[in-house]
Amino acid sequence: MDAIEVIRAKRDRRELTTAQIDWVIDAYTRGEVADEQMSALAMAILLNGMDRREIADWTLAMIRSGERMDWSSLDRPTADKHSTGGVGDKITLPLAPLVAACGAYVPQLSGRGLGHTGGTLDKLESIPGWRASLSNAEMLDVLRTAGAVVCAAGSGLAPADKKLYALRDVTGTVESIPLIASSIMSKKIAEGTGSLVLDVKVGSGAFMKTVPDARELAETMVALGTDAGVRTVALLTAMDRPLGLAVGNALEVAESIEVLSGGGPADVVELTVRLAREMLEAAGITGAKDPAKALADGSAMDVWRRMISAQGGDPDAPLPRAAETMTVEAPGSGVLTRLDAYAVGLAAWRLGAGRARKEDPVSAGAGVVLHAKPGDEVRAGQPLMTLHADEAQRFERALEALEGAYEVGEAAEERLPLIIDRIT
């Protein structure tokens, strides 16, 4: 078999055979298929698609490129959540300890931010001392001690995806439903969780801009998980406006701690509790403490503290703060009709919260704090948001990102409901 034959097949809109897929993923992982050949194949897949059987084969081949974790020595079911990413999406931070407090083990491998969406590991790394890289043995230890662990995926997990995702990132081939679905699910299945809840975001701040595209991605991923024996369910949720009020690393940790203390913004609390209930149901845990109670009675906070400490972090240490702030005021009186998620994410990124290249550092304190959300009444001159940055010269480009991103008018525009649909 050779790479050109496989590329030509997909270029000419033919289905790839199982043998062709197994070969090309294995040969690419070993370095026998060159990056330029794999990028041609990725572009052919982006343009011509793959059917369900091809996507399932592609996913299995990527799982087989590395190790598969096994949590069968644990005495309770495992549950995980994956979000396709959005602006202000800090849900993993309160959710993982919450679900552990209600009786499941939560082994969650997470990523770093790239572009306008933040990464869970970058957020947690703003806690002094906290460590993202754990060996498999350490991961098991934290799980046993705290009930939940959030850490970086080791290099042994789906290495084909690691290589391919980096290549797609620089070849304009990220936005392909078959490639996104197989990339996410290969890692989640290899991670060994027994059940999985997918939070598929929809709107300007998400990969998927429309409900039909998000639904197709969700259905593809649910089918891949179910076929692999992982009980999988997906929620389609709104990302046309930011989630919560804080966007940025330490700022989102602070908001998550508010949620774990029984407070926090209503949308973050609603989504956290709903995802927790879905995870417990998918894990087959019945009669567990209700997640809303576990937030109110402090038991989720207890797990958070154990989880942070077990990974070297100090849950009582003050969080880093940016040196400079700037207030953006409401341009008129009325209702905040629109606040675009992508623009706020881009502003936070330009303030230093995100990175342009994988190896870039991020600022722990940078980001945006919102003082109003779409639908809220505002008065002319009242603070609409506060920008946080380590250097004041970052404000100008952040303000450019926010041009045209918000409007004050007579009545709020129609928004997506927070929870749009559930896919099983």
Q: Kindly indicate which of the ranges 62-70, 91-99, 173-181, 194-202 contains the residues binding ligand URA, using the contact rule CB under 6 A.
A: 173-181
Q: Which of 90, 187, 338, 394 is the catalytic position?
A: 187
Smallest gap from residue 16 Cβ to ligand URA (A): 18
Residue among 99 and 114 whose Cβ is closer to ligand URA: 114
Residue 180 in the binding site for ligand URA (CB under 6 A): yes
Quick check: is 240 catalytic?
Answer: no
C-alpha 141: how far from chain center: 24
Q: Going by C-beta distance under 8 Å and a sequence separation of 6 or more, which residues neighbour residue 21?
A: 54, 57, 58, 61
Residue 58 in the binding site for ligand URA (CB under 6 A): no
Q: Which of 168, 188, 201, 338 is the catalytic position?
A: 168
Smallest gap from residue 46 Cβ to ligand URA (A): 11
Residue among 207 and 395 whose Cβ is closer to ligand URA: 207
Smallest gap from residue 210 Cβ to ligand URA (A): 17
Quick check: is 183 catalytic?
Answer: yes
Both structure tokens of 248 = 């940025």
Residue 25 in the binding site for ligand URA (CB under 6 A): no
Quick check: is 187 catalytic?
Answer: yes
Smallest gap from residue 120 Cβ to ligand URA (A): 12
Smallest gap from residue 304 Cβ to ligand URA (A): 25
Quick check: is 394 catalytic?
Answer: no
Smallest gap from residue 44 Cβ to ligand URA (A): 16
The CB-based long-range contact list for 45-48 (8 Å cut-off, 24+ gap) reads 45/10, 45/173, 45/176, 45/178, 45/179, 46/173, 46/175, 46/176, 46/179, 48/10, 48/11, 48/13
Residue among 200 and 402 whose Cβ is closer to ligand URA: 200
Residue among 221 and 336 whose Cβ is closer to ligand URA: 221
Q: Kindly indicate which of the ranges 140-148, 172-180, 323-331, 349-357 contains the residues binding ligand URA, using the contact rule CB under 6 A.
A: 172-180
Smallest gap from residue 239 Cβ to ligand URA (A): 14
For the chain, the three-class secondary structure string (H helix, E strand, C coil) is: CCHHHHHHHHHCCCCCCHHHHHHHHHHHHHCCCCHHHHHHHHHHHHHHCCCHHHHHHHHHHHHHCCCCCCCCCCCCCEEEEEECCCCCCCCHHHHHHHHHHCCCEEEEEECCCECCECCHHHHHCCCCCCCCCCCHHHHHHHHHHHCEEEEECCCCCCHHHHHHHHHHHCCCCCCCHHHHHHHHHHHHHHCCCCEEEEEEEECCCCCECCHHHHHHHHHHHHHHHHHCCCEEEEEEEECCCCCCCEEEHHHHHHHHHHHHCCCCCHHHHHHHHHHHHHHHHHCCCCCCCCHHHHHHCCHHHHHHHHHHHHCCCCCCCCCCCCCEEEEEECCCCEEEEEECHHHHHHHHHHHHHCCCCCCCCCCCCCEEEECCCCCCEECCCCEEEEEEECCHHHHHHHHHHHCCCEEEECCCCCCCCCEEEEEC
Question: Binders of ligand URA among 148-167, rule CB under 6 A?
Answer: 165
Residue 184 in the binding site for ligand URA (CB under 6 A): yes
Residue 183 in the binding site for ligand URA (CB under 6 A): yes
Residue among 173 and 299 whose Cβ is closer to ligand URA: 173
Size of the residue set binding ligand URA (CB under 6 A): 6
Residue among 180 and 389 whose Cβ is closer to ligand URA: 180
Residue among 179 and 243 whose Cβ is closer to ligand URA: 179
Q: Which of 182, 183, 186, 204 is the catalytic position?
A: 183
Quick check: is 415 catalytic?
Answer: no
Cβ atoms 380, 332 nearer than 8 A: yes
Q: Which of 10, 81, 82, 163 is the catalytic position?
A: 82
Smallest gap from residue 189 Cβ to ligand URA (A): 13
Q: Kindly indicate which of the ranges 180-188, 247-255, 355-363, 366-374 contains the residues binding ligand URA, using the contact rule CB under 6 A.
A: 180-188
Cα separation, 21 vs 57, in Å, equals 7
Q: Kindly indicate which of the ranges 49-57, 90-98, 176-184, 248-256 contains the residues binding ligand URA, using the contact rule CB under 6 A.
A: 176-184
Q: Kindly indicate which of the ranges 151-159, 179-187, 274-282, 394-402 contains the residues binding ligand URA, using the contact rule CB under 6 A.
A: 179-187
Q: Which of 57, 89, 122, 161 is the catalytic position?
A: 161
| Binding positions for ligand URA, rule: CB under 6 A | 165, 174, 179-180, 183-184
Which residues are identified as catalytic?
82, 161, 168, 183, 187
